[in-house]
Amino acid sequence: MKLPPGVSQQDFAAAVKDFRDVVGAEWVFDSEEDVNLYRDAYTPFWQEEEELVASAAVAPDTVEQVQEIVRIANRRRLPIYPISTGRNLGYGGSAPTLSGSVVLDLKRMNRVLEVDERNASILVEPGVSYFEAYKHLQAAGSKLWLDVPDPGWGSLIGNAMDRGGGYTMPMYRNHFEAHCGMEVVLANGETMRTGMGAMPGCKSWQQYKTGFGPSVDGLFSQSNFGICTKMGFWLMPQPEAYLSATVSVPKYNDLIPLIDTLNFLENSAITNGMPFLGAPLTNPGLMPGDEVRRPPAAELMELLATPGGPSDAQLEKLARDKGMGMWACRLQYYGPPEVIRAQWAYSRKKFEAIPGATFSEPELLEMPLTPEQIAKVHKVVFGVPNLDIFFIGARSETVPQPSDGHIWFSPIIPRTGEEVLRAQRVINQAAVELGLPGVPFPAVGTYWIRSFMFLYGFPIIKDVATNKKNRESFRKLITIAAENGWGEYRTAPAYQGDIMATYSFNNHALLRFHETLKDAVDPNGIISPGRYGIWPKHLREGRRKP
C-alpha cells in the first residue's frame, strides 16, 4: 500500500479508524482487494510504478459525514480525493491525482433532492448518475429532459465539475454552464452555498446563477478548492418535436463557408440542436463515431494510401462519384413542428449561397418517442442515458482487437474552416511522424458554441511499452498544439500538469493565482493535491512544469 508523502503509518491508521467511527466499518475500504477497485481502469500507467493509486477509500452518506471526514483529514494532514460516481473514464476514473490519497467516494450520496417542473430544474447529490436521474424523472412523470454525456453512468455533478458536455441545446449541453447553484464543503469542514443559496430561505437558488458579489462557482470546477455536495441544473422542457436535415457541399474549401454559415445560424439560435460536421466519405450519416462502426469504403482506403496522400481534387471526385458531398453538416432542431420547419427552411436558404450545396429531406419526429423509436435513434440527442459509446474499443467486426480503454487528446480550436483544415494537417503530420494512426479528415467536436474541439483518441492497452510510447506521443501533441494556440479543455491526471503548463501567459500568472487560492482555502493541502496541476505549497516544489 502506498501512503501519501509526509503521512506516517500511525497517522494513517488513526485516520482510518476515525473514518470508521464516522461512516461505519462497512464503508471504509482498506484491504488491497477493495482499494484495487479504485484504480483507474483506463490508466496509461497500468502495472507501472507511476500508476496513481489510493491508500484507502471512505464512502459517506451525508454532508455532515463529509464535513467530519474533512476535519479528520485536516488533523492528520491526510490527502483525500473526492469522486462522485467515479466513472470519469478516460479522465482519471476513481483514482487520485496523488498516490496514497484516500478516495472520498460520494456514490452513496445519490439522492435527487428536488425537481422543479415549473421552472425546469433539478437539485442533486454527487452520487446521482444520469441513469438514476432519468429514472427518477420518468417515474415522476416529468416532462423535463436531461442533457446527457455519452456514458450514462456518470454523475451530473462530477461531469459538470469536470466540464463535460452533452448533445441537446447549447444552454444545456455545456454541463457546467447549465448548473445553477452549488453547496460545497470547504477544506476547513464548513459548508458554503453559492449564488442565491447563500441567502437563508431563498427560493431562487436554482433560478439565478450568480447571486450577489463575486461569482465563485467556476473556482470549484477542474480544481481542488472544495467538495461539491449539492448542485442544481437547468433542464430542458420536452420539445413538441425534433427535426434533422443535412446540408452537403462539394468542394474541399467549401468547409470554410459551411462553418461560417453554421456559426451565424447557431449564434443567432436559429439552429438550436447540436450540429454534426464531417466528411461523408468516412461517415455517410454523420453519426458520431460511425467511422468506427463502419470501415471506410475500399476506394477511399486506396486513395489515402497513395504516396503523399490524395489531392483535394481527388477527394472531391471520389465524393462526387459516390454521390456524396465533400463535407456535410447534419443540423438538429427542437421545438414546435411549425417553428422548426421554418427554422430549417431559413437555414437551408442561408446554405444555398454555397454553390453546389445539396440538402436531404428533413426528418421530423414528434415527442415523446416510443420505446421502439428510442431503440433506433441516437439516444443522447433525446436526453436518454445509455452506454452505446463503448462500441469504441469494444470488440466488433470492425474492431477485431479490442482495447482496454481510451484517452482523448482534444484541444479547443477556433471555429473557422481554415483553422479546422490547418489543425487536421498539423495533427496528421505529427501523428504520422510519431508512428500513430494518421488523421486524413478532421474529427470535429461540436459540443460547445463559439469553438470546436479537435478529437484524437489514444487507445489504452495493458502493455507497458505501448503506454510509455503513447504517453510520450500525447505530450508531444500537447506541445505541438500549444505552439499553434490550441489548448486542451480537459484531460486525464497523467497530463494535467503538462497542459496547465501550456496556459502560461505572463509567467504562468493563472497557475500562480490558482496556487495562491489553494494556499488560502486549503492551507494543509488535503483536497485532491495535484488535480489540474494545482499543488499545495508543501508538495509544489519540482512539480510545476516549465
What are the residue numbers of the active site? 91, 489-490
The helix or strand, by DSSP H or E, that contains position 408, with its residue range, turns out to be strand 406-409
Measured CA to CA, the distance from residue 511 to residue 540 in angstroms comes to 12
- Kindly identify the residues of this chain, within the stretch 339-358, that bind another protein according to CB under 8 A: none
- Residue of 12, 38, 81, 234 that binds another protein (CB under 8 A): 38
Question: How many residues touch another protein (CB under 8 A)?
Answer: 45
- Residue of 59, 160, 412, 426 that binds another protein (CB under 8 A): 59
Provide the minimum distance between the beta carbon of 59 and another protein in the complex, in angstroms, as a whole number.
5
Quick one: cell of 118?
Answer: 415549473
Provide the minimum distance between the beta carbon of 41 and another protein in the complex, in angstroms, as a whole number.
3
Pairing of strands 56-58, 102-105: parallel
Q: What are phi and psi of 377, to 5 degrees?
A: -90, 170
- Kindly identify the residues of this chain, within the stretch 187-206, that bind another protein according to CB under 8 A: none
Provide the minimum distance between the beta carbon of 292 and another protein in the complex, in angstroms, as a whole number.
11
CA 14 remoteness from chain centre: 37
Quick check: 130 and 140 in contact, CB under 8 A?
no
Q: With respect to another protein, which residue has the nearer C-beta, 86 or 149?
A: 86
Residue 86 is a binding residue for another protein (CB under 8 A): yes
- Kindly identify the residues of this chain, within the stretch 405-434, that bind another protein according to CB under 8 A: 405-406
Amino acid found at 17: K
Amino acid found at 249: V
Quick one: cell of 44?
Answer: 496509461
Site string for another protein, 144-183 (x = CB under 8 A): --------xx------------------------------
- Residue of 21, 34, 190, 472 that binds another protein (CB under 8 A): 34
User: CB neighbours (10 Å) of residue 263?
Assistant: 16
Residue 272 is a binding residue for another protein (CB under 8 A): no
Site string for another protein, 90-129 (x = CB under 8 A): ---xx----------x-xx------------------x--
- Kindly identify the residues of this chain, within the stretch 348-407, that bind another protein according to CB under 8 A: 375, 385-397, 400, 402-406
The β-bridge partners of 133 are: none
Quick one: cell of 226?
Answer: 472544495
Q: Return the half-sphere exposure (C-beta side, CA atoms, 13 A cut-off) of residue 10.
A: 0
Measured CA to CA, the distance from residue 355 to residue 299 in angstroms comes to 26
Q: Rg (Cα) of the chain, in Å, rounded?
A: 24
- Interface contacts to another protein, rule CB under 8 A: 27, 29, 33-34, 36-39, 41-42, 57, 59, 85-87, 89, 93-94, 105, 107-108, 127, 131, 152-153, 375, 385-397, 400, 402-406
